[in-house]
Amino acid sequence: MDLQRSEAEHIPFSDAETMFSGFSKDDFIELAYCAGDFMLAIDENNIIRDVAMNGKDHQFANRWIGEKWVETVTVESRPKIDRLLDSRQGADTTWRQVNHHSDGDDVPVRYRAIRPEKGPWTIAIGQDLRAMSVLQQRLLKTQQSMERDYLNLRQTETRYRVLFDNISYPVLIVDAVNLQIQQANRALHSLMNAAPGSLDGKGLTALVDDSYRDHLVAHIGAASVSSTSEPIEIQLAGRSDTVKLAMSAFRQSGKQFWLVNIDDGEHRVPSRPSDSYILDAVEKMPDAFVLANHKQDIVVANRAFAELVQAGSVEQLIGVSLNRFIGRPDIDLNLLRKQLKDHQNVRNFSSVANDLNGGEEPVEISAIMIEREQSLFGYSVRAIGRRERDLPRSDQELRSVDQLTELVGRKPLKEIVRESTDLIERMCIEAALIHTSDNRASAAEILGLSRQSLYSKLHRHGIGNLADKG
C-alpha cells in the first residue's frame, strides 16, 4: 500500500533558515528518527552501506549492509524500490510499502527515499509496519467472526419467521404495554379475512367484538400478575361464534410481550404451546443452557451443557451445585446473581467452565432471573476457546501494570504477585542497563547486586546478549 502526499500538503515555516539555524547534525538525525524506525544509507550503486535505528527491535536491518537494496525485498516489492531510487531527488513524496525477507517471514516496511542535490548518498527512512500488520490480522479475524455470527443470526431469524408464518393455528405477538400487535401469522389473517400484514400495528382489542373487550382487558390484567392463566372464550369482531384465547408472557430486549394463541375449533392448539417449543429448542440448541434454583442447584440442563462439563448424561447433573462447574466456587455465580438482582439480565459475562475431568474452557455467560416465590436463574453458556485460539496471540512477556491488572479473576493472587515481581525486576534491570549504556559491571553496582547475580537475572529474563560487556 502506497500513501500519496501531494506537494500542496507541505506548508513550510515562513522563515525556515532562522528556525533551523541552531540545529546541529545530531539534531537533524533525531528529527529523522521521529519520522521512522530506522534509516538506510545507500550509495550511488544502490548498495546499503550503513543502518541507523531507533531500538533493538529493528536489528534485522543490519543484515542488509553490503547488499543491494532491491535484493533485500520480495519479488513483488522490487518495482517499488526502483521507483523510490528513480525519484530520490525529492520530487516524489510518496511513502511506499515493501516486504523484506527475514527468517522466513516477510517484514512490512514503509519507505521514503531522500537524496540531496549534491552528494551520492541516499537516505531511506523506514517505518516498521509489523505491529500494524498484527492489528490488521486481528481486525480481520474479529470481522470474520462477527460476519459468521451475523449470518447465523440472519439464518435463525429466517427459520423463525418461516416457522411462525406456517403454524396452522392463529397466533400473534402483542406489546404488553400498549397491546399493539407486533406480528400476526397467516392463519390469523385468514381467520379475520384480512390482507397479509394488514393486522400488524393494530390494537389487540380491535380484533375483539365490542361486548367482549372489557372481558379481554380484565383477563390481561389478571394474567399480568399470575404466572399461569387459563384460556378464555371471546368473540372476534365480525364473527358470530366464540374462540378460545390463551396468553403467555415473555421478555425481549427488556420489554414484555404476549404470545397469544387462538383456538377457533378447527385446529389443535396446545394449552401452553410455548412450553413444548421452548423446551425442544433449548434441548437442541448448540450453546449450553442450565436452569438453577435459588441455591444454585441444577434443575434443568441441555445436552450441550452435559457435553461442556464432560458428563455422561443430563440426568446425573440434576441436583448438583452449579458452583461445581462455573468459574471460581461461590464467586462468579454470586457476582452474576448480584447483577441479576440489579438488572434482571446479564450478557457476555466472562468466566470458565470446569468439567468433571479437571479441565477448563473459557466461556461467555448470558443470564436471566425468573421471579417466583423462590427465584430461578437461567444461564446460557457459550464456549469461546475456539474464538480465542483463532485470534493471534502475543508471546511477549508482561510489560505493564495494566496487563497485570487484567489477570485479576483469571489467576490466583499468588501467581499475579510473582509475575508482578518479575516485571518490576526486569524493568529495573533494563533501566540500569540503559542508564549505564549497557555496562554490566556499573549496572550491577547501582542495583546493589554482584555481577554473578546480575548475570543470573539477565539469563532468567532473557535480556540482551549475555556476553560480558562490563
Bigger pLDDT: 277 vs 320: 320
pLDDT tens string 102-141: 776 788 889 988 887 777 888 888 888 888 888 888 888 8
CB-based burial, 424-458: b 16+ in 10 Å, e otherwise: eebeebeebbeebeeebeebbbebebeeeebbebb
How many CB atoms sit inside 10 A of residue 113's CB?
A: 25
Residue percentage of the chain with pLDDT more than 90: 2
pLDDT tens string 145-168: 888 888 888 888 888 778 887 788
pLDDT tens string 162-213: 888 778 888 999 998 889 999 898 888 888 888 888 888 899 988 898 888 8
326: burial class by Cβ within 10 Å (0-12, 13-18, 19+)? buried
* pLDDT of amino acid 387: 55
Query: Is the Cα dihedral 333, 337, 339, 340 positive or negative?
Result: positive
pLDDT tens string 398-452: 555 556 665 665 566 677 777 778 788 888 888 888 888 788 888 888 888 888 8
Instruction: Using the predicted structure, report yes or no on whether residue 394 has a pLDDT greater than 50.
Output: no
What Rg value do the Cα atoms of the chain yield, rounded? Answer: 35
398 close to 423: Cβ distance less than 8 angstroms: yes
pTM: 0.36
* pLDDT of amino acid 3: 58
In DSSP terms, 96 is beta-bridged to 111
* Residue matched to cell numbers 547486586: 449
| Ranges 101-110, 112-121, 318-327, 380-389: which has the least confidence | 380-389
Structural domains of the chain ordered from first start: 7-128 (3.30.450.20), 167-270 (3.30.450.20), 285-390 (3.30.450.20), 401-461 (no CATH)
Per this entry, what is the length of the chain? 470
Rounded-to-integer distance, Cα 65 and Cα 366, Å? 57
Rounded-to-integer distance, Cα 317 and Cα 302, Å? 10
Give whole-number Cα distances, 303 to 152, 285, 383, in Å: 20, 9, 14
Give backbone dihedrals phi and psi of 208, rounded to 5 degrees, phi first: -105, 145
